[in-house]
Amino acid sequence: MTVTTSKSAYALGLQDGFPFIIAVIPFAVLFGVVATEAGLDLLQVLSFSVVVIAGAAQFTALQLMIEEAPTLIILVTALAVNLRMAMYSASLTPYLGDAPLLTRAFVSYFLVDQSYACSIVRFEENPEWSTATRVSYFFGAITLVCPMWYVMTVVGALIGTSLPEWLALDFAVPITFLALIAPMLRTIPHLAAAVTSIVLALVFAFLPYNLGLLIAAVSAMAIGAELERRT
Amino acid sequence: MIADDGLVWTVIFALGAGSFLIRFSFLGIVGRRPLPEWLLRHLRYTAVAVLPGLVAPLIFWPEATGGELDPARLLAAGFTVILGLLTRNILAAIMGGLSTLYIVQIALRLI
């Protein structure tokens, strides 16, 4: 599919973002349920999803609040879970850096795993895209995912029970990311980076503050970059 | 139960502000200034360096099974990767992976 205009880029983003709602819906419902059970009211549950807009960090903060951890620990731990997004931000900067500041601020707000992952694939595939086209694509990709995140947390808070366990929807999140990662493994450096990431994330999983993932990610980037330099 | 309303709102807004600043870091501050080649070379591997590590523990030690290895989930994960590699169609890979999970779960229950 050749995309030349911003409008068709937006449509392509919309299409690429669609599969993610399969995972976002159950994850958001679950957050709504768990947060309500923990004693948050509807406004707080919705605000959580709208203001923070980061599933894993929201669950982390909620869990620590339930455990009555000190406020500073709650914030540091949940923010550490989101540190990977600084890498996403850096990775998108060569593509979106010359967009207007306000646009970059909105992109930043909506920068989640899903929007980053599909954007970086398309931006690499289509180096001829203008910044405006890339911005349109990005907003297409979040159009379904992010509002669905807000709405479904409220639905979860209202219904108050999780989706049936046999659906195993906890696994929808890893499945959607695996489906997305697989086509990215197109060169030896990419494959080596992915394997490094998996092995080190498992080895260092015991570290607090999600540090294991950060060590795994930085090491994997170094491996990928070094192999690329040598070839 | 979390009884402290003030705490909840503090966490929501502080976490929201912090998360935004993390996301805005490079996009906001670096902007159009060119990044050095060595850094760009590393950044090209961001997606394959972060996402596999993010999902690996969810696949090998799923919370739903109490952190136990689950053959149904492992097979489903493997099949999703194979489908993703072969078809390069994300939706097909997701559907194939979830179907595998259900089929294996039902089969294991029948045995």
- Look at residue B16 in the predicted model and tell me its pLDDT: 97
Question: What is the Cα–Cα distance from B85 to A188, expressed in whole angstroms?
Answer: 14
Query: Same domain for B17 and B55?
Result: no
Give which of A82, A197, A219, A209 is closest to B25, Cα–Cα: A82
- Cβ contacts of A48 on chain B, cutoff 8 Å: 12
Query: Same domain for B18 and B71?
Result: no
- CB of B64 within 8 A of CB of A165? yes
Count structural domains, chain B.
Answer: 2
Residues making up chain B, counted from first to last: 111
Query: Same domain for B19 and B58?
Result: no
Query: Same domain for B58 and B77?
Result: yes
At A18-35, the pLDDT tens digits run: 999 988 998 899 899 989
Structural domain for B100, as ranges? 37-110
At A110-139, the pLDDT tens digits run: 999 999 999 999 999 999 999 999 999 999
- Cβ contacts of A75 on chain B, cutoff 8 Å: 11, 14-15, 18
The b/e string for B48-79 (b: 16+ C-beta within 10 A; e otherwise) is bbbbbbbbbbbbbbbeeeeeeebebbebbbeb
- Look at residue A165 in the predicted model and tell me its pLDDT: 73
**How much of chain B, in percent, has pLDDT values that exceed 70?**
98
Cross-chain Cβ contact B40/A121 below 8 Å: no
- CB of B45 within 8 A of CB of A189? yes
Question: What is the Cα–Cα distance from A19 to A171, expressed in whole angstroms?
Answer: 14
Query: Same domain for B52 and B104?
Result: yes
> Which among A182, A196, A223 is the nearest to B81, CB-wise?
A182
Query: Same domain for B51 and B29?
Result: no
Query: Same domain for B88 and B41?
Result: yes
- Look at residue B77 in the predicted model and tell me its pLDDT: 96
* Amino acid identity for residue B61 in this structure: W
Put simply, the chain B residues between 53 and 82 with a CB less than 8 A from any chain A CB are 53-64, 72-73, 76-77, 80-82
Query: Same domain for B75 and B96?
Result: yes
Question: What is the Cα–Cα distance from B91 to B89, expressed in whole angstroms?
Answer: 6
- CB of B65 within 8 A of CB of B73? yes
ipTM entry: 0.90
Query: Same domain for B28 and B43?
Result: no
Which residue's structure tokens are 């980061």?
A: A54
